[in-house]
Amino acid sequence: MTHTNFLTTAALVALLGASFSAQAYDADWKRGRVYYRSVCTSCHTAGPIGSINPSTKTKAEWNTYLLLDKHAKGKDTVSKYVSKDYRASIKATNKAAEKFADTPDKDLLDDIKAFLQKGAKDGDSPATCS
Ligand code: HEC
């Protein structure tokens, strides 16, 4: 990583930290875990990519990843797969998407963030997908 890149990443992480503390919503990591395992992981394991364990990245790496919001090497976004529209499109076959159909996008994204922070390589309880 170049010096400039490092500074940019550090600034982004600081920014995200600030936005965390400004939030009134109390993130629910358990709901984040259910969604991650039922929606994110079920697609990853269905495809050639395989499951992506939260413990494969550090807390800072997850922070940066979610902040940049570039999913699948930039082909789409993580927020797309958290959105109400996406949940509506799969809820006929996905119980978690159905259960959280009306959760605001931002709350659900915060829940996933909380789960990934907890389950990160250097988090409180490094987690696998299952
Ligand atoms: C519709 C299928 C699908 C869903 C749903 C999905 N992913 Fe992915 N994801 C993929 C594919 C395919 C790749 C691999 C792309 C590649 O390597 O070219 C990927 C890659 C990733 C990666 C590896 C880095 C990257 O972006 O290439 C992470 C991390 C990730 N997904 C997180 C998530 C999270 C978090 C969610 C849920 C909010 C999610 N994904 C939902 C299909 C999906």
Q: What is the pLDDT, as a whole number, of residue 119?
A: 97
Query: What is the model's pTM?
Result: 0.84
CA angle 50/52/54 to nearest 5° reads 165
Instruction: Provide mean pLDDT across the span 65-86.
Output: 97
What are phi and psi for residue 58, nearest 5 degrees? -80, 170
How far lies 3's CA from each of 59, 60, 67, in Å? 20, 17, 20
Which residue's alpha carbon is nearest to atom 9 within ligand 1?
72
For the chain, the domains span 29-119
What's the pLDDT band for 71 if we cut at 50, 70, 90? very high
What is the position in ligand 1's atom list of the atom closest to the CA of 81? 38
Measured CA to CA, the distance from residue 19 to residue 67 in angstroms comes to 11
> What is the rounded average pLDDT of the residues 19-33?
79
